[in-house]
Structure 1
Amino acid sequence: MSAFTKIKGTKDVFGEEMKYWEYVENKAKDLFKRYAFKEIRVPTIEKTELFSRGVGQETDIVQKEMYTFDDKKGRSLTLRPEGTASVARAYIENSLISFGSPQKLFYIGPMFRYEKPQSGRYREFYQLGAEIFGTDHPLADAELIAFIYDFFSNLKLSNFRIKINSIGTFESREKYKEILKKYYEPLLPNLCEDCQRRYNTNVMRLLDCKKDVEASKKAPSILDYLDEESQKHFKELQHFLNIYGVPYVVDPKIVRGLDYYTKTAFEVEHLNLGEQAVIAGGGRYDNLVEQLEGPKTPGVGFAIGIERLIEAIKKENIFVKSDYNVEVYIAYQGEKGQAEALKLSKYLRKKGIKTFLNISKRNLRGQFKHADRLNVKFVIIIGDEEISKGIVTIKNMENGEQTEVEKNWVYEIITEKLNEK
């Protein structure tokens, strides 16, 4: 075995596994277009300050999980741990506001966090996400949640639950944090190490701790301390979700782990995934663009973990068909046969036929074996006899039946045979 192995917390995706990735990404891109989102691609590396300022200096991501390094000029760079800050940076830097508001953008790509690898959690992981910049209307929040519901339904998932909450404006949240601190103060000595640290840095994260669940059950609800503006926004969000026909539950424990959220926060959990149940999450961030030195611009977005989503698809035993299928294999003998096979492969591919041309030094028998391994239905044979007659031979690999066809009619005949399958 080679000494070169993949880095812990990463994975190779190939073979049968690829069909799940294609299934998810193709369904997502199709639905994004129907919801009138445009794709954006942002760099994998960014200035570290983008995340410390945007995501939050005291968050677990910035404190413990980022892959940060100095480049040759001593600049601190970071592999992006999440997508929203990068998209917001691109929105500002490229003056996307000049194209009108709202701007609806989506992305698909890798993120990096130094976490303990486990089922559904990797150090290099993929997310698909969406951001809407330029509107504070709760209908934008509702549309994103409706998208997620439609997307998961299109994937044929059923065992998931959408949970929503409001964490209010910055001002109302700060007041709530003080109330939460008073509640947790006497409990602090018995809480886990993470909760003890977060008590002073990010006290709201104590509400979604997986270890100290009992302590959070009796914690005061943020919904009782929302300002009037946030209450109205949350009420309207629920009204729009009801019109959309999106099922949801209100859960005041949903706080999300990033500093930039305001008002709406939501998560989607899959009920078969145990501790790694959250497969999507997001919310509103009306101050983020301004924090990153852009114009005051409200925003809302979400991210979906692709690896966890694929695990959910497998847990529900959803049948996913591979997009990879070779329709025709071209086998040949001799130099003249090779030249004719090359020309025919070019012609069939141009016509849209998925064609595998023998590109190895196999004899005819070896080519048939290879075609069988690829599960090809038809093999087109070109040898000296076929060339002398101006024909090709089409072999049906399922029943062994062979048909001689004039060279000029190959496309029509092979199309007819494929349509019979």
Structure 2
Amino acid sequence: MAGKKIQAPKGVSEYIPPRSNTFEFVREALITPARRAGYQLMELPVFEDTELFTRGVGESTDVVSKEMYTFTDRGDRSITLRPEGTAGVMRSVIEHGLDRGQLPVKVFYSGAYFRAERPQAGRYRQFYQVGIEAIGVNDPAIDAEVIAIADAGFRAVGLTKFRLDLTSLGDAQTRAAHRIDLMKFIQTLDLDEATAARALINPLRLFDDKREEMKKAMLDAPLLMDYLTPDARDDFDNVKKYLDAMGIPYVLNPRMVRGLDYYTGTTFEFVHELLGAQSGIGGGGRYDGLMQELGGQALSGIGFGLGIDRAVLAAEAEGVISSDLAISDLFIIPLGDLAMNTALTTAQLLRTAGKNVQISFGDRALKGAMKVADKSGARYVVVLGDSEIASGNVELKHMNTGTTSSVRIDSLLEAI
């Protein structure tokens, strides 16, 4: 008797062929601009001490207060599956002394992240991101570079129907002056106990409240952008100047507040017009106090997290994903044991030379094997039988045009 089927947990995003080819394409497209800008790979654990996120991400955030997967391990330690990437990078930079070497530290990373959210299209409990961090230099030019890398990644995917929202959360003096007036305004509102408590920890969180009544209540709230100090305004003006020079369009959004408490200064989000409620496809910003909060030096940093899942959905919505992502260069159909031996050795040589080669396995008849070859998306197909092996020649069929040509087996590399 067959056992009961086990299904994936609710709210996870799985990618199986052929859609997994789209996922892989999108991930590599988002990573490549970072590599070209000199960012190096950092591979980190998917779980950390819970304190890293309560201190680094912020207790007032929904991520920490409502969404983290936290458990006690066998050593009675509180462990959390990572809900975002920056805090872990900062912990690793401090622990391994990278902040005491050449600056800026420039790293990229990708992988799975976890939040106990209500699952819906584009919002998953396990989701995937590509991120970068540039740590140790406070320079508007590197802010612009980070934004440009994200923009280049989305354009490499083929996306066009997105916009860049941009703001500044200012420096410490900016936020201190704004907080006084914002708290005065908030005291005039009729808030429930939980919202009032969140406002005491970080009043900016109320700008990020998705409830319609709160959006309406905050319409007349003082905006942080109006409190920028001269230095903060100069920095932000320079960021905009560099983006203009690179031809990267943006929309100023003074009400934007990212979902993590560590952001300061330049802050940004990419929004896609075809994704409905879950329209954010990536974002980031500067975090000038985070390293010191986590026990390191008082170094500045800036980074982003780009949602691979959302970028896949956006690419599918725009119809920009090529249908030939998984195409093999050659599909070999061997007929008989001797032909299989030749097929395996030929495929090995071609793969070593960088070609993608598939072989038909099992006892399929020629007609069935040709159907498999057609569905595989291979550009070319050859049939290997006794006569082909004896002559050393095969008929190379181009699957798109149906045309054939006689090719030496040992010349297949040049022919395909």
Q: Same fold by TM-score, threshold 0.5 exceeded?
A: yes
Structure-2 residue corresponding to 1:380? 382
Q: 1:270, 1:30 → 2: CA distance?
A: 21
Query: Counterparts of 2:144 and 2:401 in 1: how far apart (Å)?
Result: 55
Contact kept? 2:72, 2:78, Cα under 8 Å: yes
- Which residue does the alignment assign to 1:418? none
For residue 48 of structure 1, report the CA deviation from its aligned partner: 0.9
Query: Is 1:337–1:387's contact at 8 Å kept on the other side of the alignment?
Result: yes
Q: Indicate the residue corresponding to 1:188 in structure 2.
A: 190
Identity of paired residues, percent?
37
| Amino acid paired to 2:202 | N
Q: Name stretches of at least 5 consecutive residues in structure 1 with no aligned partner.
A: 416-421
Q: Which moved more, 1:384-393 or 1:156-165?
A: 384-393
Q: Does 1:331 align with 2:359?
A: no
**Cα distance in 2 for residues equivalent to 1:92 and 1:80:** 18
The 3-state SS of whatever aligns with 2:291 is helix
Distance 1:106 1:314 in 2: 25
1:97–1:103 contact (8 Å) kept in structure 2: yes
Q: Structure 1 residues 354, 291: CA separation in 2 closer, same or farther (over 3 Å shift)?
A: same
In the alignment, what sits opposite 2:304?
302
Change (3 A) 1:243 1:110: same
Deviation at 1:401, TM superposition (A): 6.3
Q: Which residue of 1 aligns with 2:81?
A: 79
Gap runs ≥5 in structure 2: none
Partner AA of 2:336 in structure 1: G
| Contact 1:266/1:283 (8 A) holds in 2 | yes
**Residues 313 and 194 (structure 1 numbering): CA distance in 2 closer, same or farther, change over 3 Å?**
farther
Query: What's the TM-score once normalised by structure 2's chain length?
Result: 0.91
**1:176 alignment counterpart:** 178
Instruction: Report how far residue 393 of structure 1 moved.
Output: 4.4
User: Do the aligned residues in 1 keep the contact of 2:135 with 2:301 (CA within 8 Å)?
Assistant: yes
Task: State the TM-score, normalized to the length of structure 1.
Answer: 0.90
Residues in 2 aligned to 1:226 and 1:377: alpha-carbon distance in whole angstroms? 58
Distance 1:332-1:267 versus aligned 2 partners, 3 A rule: closer
> 1:197 Cα deviation (Å)?
4.5
Q: Does the 8 A contact of 1:104 with 1:133 survive in 2?
A: yes
Counterpart of 1:199 in structure 2: which amino acid?
A
Q: CA 1:5–1:350 in 2, change beyond 3 Å: closer, same or farther?
A: same
1:289 aligned partner: 291
Q: Which amino acid aligns with 2:95?
A: E
Give the match for residue 111 of structure 2. Answer: 109
2-side partners of 1:399 and 1:59: how far apart?
Answer: 57
Contact 2:328–2:357 (Cα < 8 Å) also in 1: yes
8 Å contact kept, 2:330–2:357: yes
Checking the alignment, whether the CA contact within 8 Å between 2:326 and 2:377 is kept in structure 1 is no
1:177-197 deviation digits (Å, cap 9, x = unpaired): 2321221222224x7x86445
Shift of 1:4: 0.5
Partner of 1:230: 232
For residues 16-415 of structure 1, the aligned pairs below 5 Å read: 16-189=18-191, 195-211=195-211, 212-395=214-397, 405-412=407-414, 414-415=415-416
CA pair 398-34 structure 1, distance change in 2 beyond 3 A:
closer
Question: Which letter maps to 1:50?
Answer: L
Tell me the alpha carbon deviations over residues 44-69 of structure 1, each in whole angstroms, 9 at most, x when there is no partner. Answer: 11111111111112321111111111
Contact 1:381 1:395 in 2 (8 A): no
Q: Is the 8 A contact 2:165 2:270 kept in 1?
A: yes
Change (3 A) 1:408 1:240: closer
Asked if the contact 2:61/2:205 (under 8 Å) is kept, the reply is no
Q: Counterpart of 2:68 in structure 1: which amino acid? A: M
Aligned letter for 2:338?
A: K
Structure 2 partner of 1:419: none
1:337–1:73 CA distance, 2 compared to 1 (3 A): same
Give the superposition deviation at 1:134.
0.7
